[in-house]
Amino acid sequence: MSNTQTSSFGLYEATRILVPGFYFASLSAMFFYSFVSRYISFPLEHGYWIVLFLFLVLVSGLTMYAKETTKRRRAFVENQPSAFLQDIVRHYSATSILNEAEARQLYFYILNHFIPPAFHEKIFFFGTVYHIMNQIRRTSFWFAILSIICLAVQIALGIALVDQQGLIFFCLLVCLTYFLNVKYNKADRKMQENYQDQIFWLQMNGEIIKDLFQKYDLSKKGTLP
């Protein structure tokens, strides 16, 4: 992998951490000022709030990144190029097949060393968009549920709606964000189009796949010259 590709990969991965983290921290701050501050006061200086916000951006972003819940969705799991590799190598050998982990390993080797840089950038870009949009959707959903519950509790306590304008605005904002994310969701479709483009490249470069599989098979057997 070239230095440009390496730096791009780092940039895209950092974006996958920071953007969802910033969104979560921003909603947390809005929820605090619209609801929590009514009951709990934190007399901190302005600088401490900035540090706390940045800390929450990093921790929440890393947590969502580490959980990888977006990778369990059907749009991510279906039609993976590594699964295509498993199917195509069956035509090259009747005895040697690739399991899921081996196919993924071979796919990433091809991705890093053979797929053109421009194509590489497209894969990273749409993969990043997919993960960010799904994290925004999940975060919006849970904050919408939380704000609705808080509204219901305060209404039950006899607090007038006119005194809950901040929380109502916050609730409408996260509900609208979630609705628009679901209704105009292009991330899943783009992810599948991204997969299809990669599979097409693999189909058009069958000789490279065959040669690499034979080398990979020999390396597994310990007979690679």
Residue type at 20 in one-letter notation: P
Neighbours of 70 (CB within 10 A): 23
Do residues 85 and 106 lie in contact, with contact meaning Cβ atoms separated by under 8 Å? yes
- Tens digits of per-residue pLDDT, 41-84? 777 777 888 999 999 999 999 999 888 776 666 656 677 888 88
Distance between CA atoms of residues 154 and 12, nearest Å: 42
Domain ranges in the chain are: 3-221
Q: What's the pLDDT at 222?
A: 58
Q: What's the pLDDT at 72?
A: 65
Mean pLDDT (the chain, rounded): 83
Q: What's the pLDDT at 3?
A: 47
- Tens digits of per-residue pLDDT, 93-150? 655 677 778 888 888 888 888 888 777 788 888 888 888 988 999 999 999 999 999 9
pTM for the whole structure: 0.79
